[in-house]
Structure 1
Amino acid sequence: MDFSAVRAALDSKSYDKIADLCDNLMLQVAAEGIAFQDDWPYAIHLLSHIYIHDINSARFLWKSIPSSIKESQPEVTAAWRIGQNLWLRDYAGVHEAIRGFDWSQDLQGLVASFSELYTKEMFQLLLSAYSTISIRDTALFLGMNEDDATNYVLRQGWTVDPASQMLIVKKHAVVTEQKLDHSKLQRLTEYVFHLEH
């Protein structure tokens, strides 16, 4: 089995491409009638779907993995634990699943990149959903201790209300894209043409 394209994507940190590469390899193997072997990179495959937030595909892949692999390769089970927590919307559980396993050299970069991406997404969720939030809840969402979470959001412009010890969310100015009305553009063109002639 040639996993060189998957290896190259891992090495170049092109993590968003790995799920498609693995899926295509899996289809190719199935089309050729070759039985899957124990060396299939199930943990990489699972985590690559989780990375691109394709939890349904991760679930189907998990269900198709032989139980002997799940029992003999704890990294595969650890990868699914992340997906399971995402599926259940257990935000703190996602962070715990990431930190709760000693990932192999092959997966350390992918897991670290996903963790960073997930923290940023959770911050955006907090930003859009709250005007004030407790330090404790912020820490749970961001997967940090309370001091680190507080420092993280303070760097983003949030403030702490000293009386309530609640974080006050600083909303970023929303830049709206102005839609171009073709009829107005046509009238303006005609007007300018009329002025010039």
Structure 2
Amino acid sequence: MDFSAVIDAVASQSYDQIAGICDTLMLQVASDGVAFRYEWPYAVHLLGHIYINDVNSARFLWKMIPLGVKENEPEVSAVWKIGQKLWGKDCGGVHEAIREFDWSSESHGIVVAFSELYTKRMFELLLSAYSTISIQDAALFLGMNEDDATKYALQQGWTVDPAYRMLTVKKQAVATEQKLDPSRLHCLTEYVFHLEH
């Protein structure tokens, strides 16, 4: 079976393309009636779906993976553990699942890239949801120890209150300036005038 497109996507760090490539290959192989059950790169395929935050597709893929693969390929189970934590919205658990497995060379780059992407997503979530947050909670969301979470937040312009162990979120400036186009104002005025008369 030719996995060169998958290998190329991993080598070029095009992690967002892996799920689509693997899905297409899987459909091709299935339509040809070729047995692929045990040689398929299940861990990489699952990671591809997890990387693009497509947990539903990862769940369906997990269900079709042969039991023998699930039982005998620890990396496949380790990837699925990340998927389970994502499904359960267990932010700290996602980071834990990433850290507790010794990833193969095929999966390592994807896992590292996903970890960075997930940390960025969680930071953006904190940014939009909080005005202040405890250092402990921020560390849990970001998958870091408290010192690293504090440093990360400070690099993003947040402030820290060491006495209360709280971080104050620095909201992004929102551009509210709108330019008024005189022709649009004229059209709106005529429309309102027409409605009133």
TM-score between both structures, scaled by the size of structure 1: 0.90
Distance, in Å, in 1 between the alignment partners of 2:44 and 2:160 is 40
Distance, in Å, in 2 between the alignment partners of 1:2 and 1:36 is 11
Partner of 2:65: 65
- Range moving further from structure 2, 17-26 or 163-172: 163-172
Deviation at residue 160 of structure 1 after TM alignment: 1.0
Distance, in Å, in 2 between the alignment partners of 1:32 and 1:60 is 21
Partner of 1:142: 142
Distance, in Å, in 2 between the alignment partners of 1:104 and 1:162 is 40
Partner of 2:18: 18
User: What SS does structure 1 have at the residue aligned with 2:174?
Assistant: coil
Change (3 A) 1:156 1:38: same
Partner of 1:99: 99
Distance, in Å, in 1 between the alignment partners of 2:130 and 2:174 is 16
Distance, in Å, in 2 between the alignment partners of 1:177 and 1:20 is 41
Pairing 1:84-123 to 2, within 5 Å after superposition: 84-123=84-123
User: What SS does structure 2 have at the residue aligned with 1:46?
Assistant: helix
Deviation at residue 37 of structure 1 after TM alignment: 3.3
AA aligned to 2:5 is: A
Change (3 A) 1:170 1:30: same
Deviation at residue 10 of structure 1 after TM alignment: 0.3
User: What SS does structure 1 have at the residue aligned with 2:167?
Assistant: strand
User: What SS does structure 2 have at the residue aligned with 1:59?
Assistant: helix
Change (3 A) 1:153 1:26: same
Change (3 A) 1:182 1:119: farther
Distance, in Å, in 2 between the alignment partners of 1:61 and 1:177 is 47
User: What SS does structure 2 have at the residue aligned with 1:7?
Assistant: helix
Change (3 A) 1:181 1:16: farther
Report how many aligned residue pairs link the two structures. Answer: 187
- Deviation sequence 1:154-187 (CA, Å, 0-9, x none): 0101111243221111101123696997962997
Distance, in Å, in 2 between the alignment partners of 1:186 and 1:27 is 56
After superposing on structure 2, the runs of 4+ consecutive aligned residues of structure 1 that deviate more than 4 Å are 176-183
- RMSD between aligned alpha carbons? 1.9
Structure 1 gaps of 5+ residues are: 188-197
User: Kindly, what percent of the aligned residue pairs are identical?
Assistant: 70
User: What SS does structure 1 have at the residue aligned with 2:133?
Assistant: strand
TM-score between both structures, scaled by the size of structure 2: 0.90
- Deviation sequence 1:62-110 (CA, Å, 0-9, x none): 0100110001100000000001000000000000001010000011110
User: What SS does structure 1 have at the residue aligned with 2:160?
Assistant: strand
AA aligned to 1:95 is: H
